[in-house]
Chain A
Amino acid sequence: MSDSYDFFMQMDMSPYIGEWVAICDRKVVSHSNSFKEAYTKAKKVCGPSKPFIALVPKDATMIL
């Protein structure tokens, strides 16, 4: 979909398990347990480009 999505799928995100990771221009620009915090920091860095923010999933079984 975007460079940031490709970056997210290709890179080792294990240091951020359980956190929201924000990516702009193929760089992790912020990470936090809080979506809002990761987004707010990313907005300052990313400028006009849309940040990519995704939760790095835990290995624990998810039941919804």
Chain B
Amino acid sequence: MIKRPMIPIVFSHEGEAFETMGLLDSGADFTAFTKEIAEVLELDLSGPREKALGVGGDIETIRSKVNITVSKAHEHYTFLIHVKVLLIENSSTPPLLGREGFFDEFRITFEERAKKIILKKLEKTDRRERKIRSSP
């Protein structure tokens, strides 16, 4: 079986919550998941539709927000994350954890040979420093 960089996460919104596996996707600008997941979480899908570019072509999306929890042993991090809901009927896409909102919250190390991923939560000051460094 092909091993993919997936981590356990919890999505929650207004009383609905489930644990799932999210795919760490450094090529994704945003965190995204399918309409089915958004409907289960009862997210507001009344916002304007926007086009997003995928490998398979343009996809319609709607912006929303959801709570995400990342846990390991005694460490738990919950934060509100902006997501793009993918308006596709195909349900066989795992939640994608993208750069804005997720990768900028952690220092993420992929140890491909060891099949290991290390996430270290960044402090607010680290995030501020990174933004200053990356600004033109």
Contact = CB atoms under 8 A, between A and B. Distances in A.
A5 B9 CA distance: 10
Contacts, number: 68
Interface in A2-37: 2, 4-5, 8, 14, 18, 20, 33-36
B36 A54 contact: no
A50 B72 CA distance: 17
A33 to B, nearest CB: 6
A36 to B, nearest CB: 5
A4 B8 CA distance: 10
A31 to B, nearest CB: 12
B91 A51 contact: no
A8 B1 CA distance: 14
A18 B94 CA distance: 11
A55 B21 contact: yes
Interface of B: 1-2, 4, 8, 10, 17-21, 23, 25, 27-28, 34, 36-37, 39-40, 54-55, 71-72, 91-94, 96
Interface of A: 1-2, 4-5, 8, 14, 18, 20, 33-36, 39-40, 42, 50-55, 57-59, 61-64
14 contacts: A1-B71, A1-B72, A5-B19, A14-B1, A18-B92, A50-B19, A51-B19, A52-B8, A55-B21, A55-B94, A57-B1, A64-B23, A64-B25, A64-B54
Given A51-B18, A55-B94, 8 more contacts: A5-B8, A34-B36, A52-B19, A53-B20, A55-B92, A55-B93, A59-B1, A64-B27
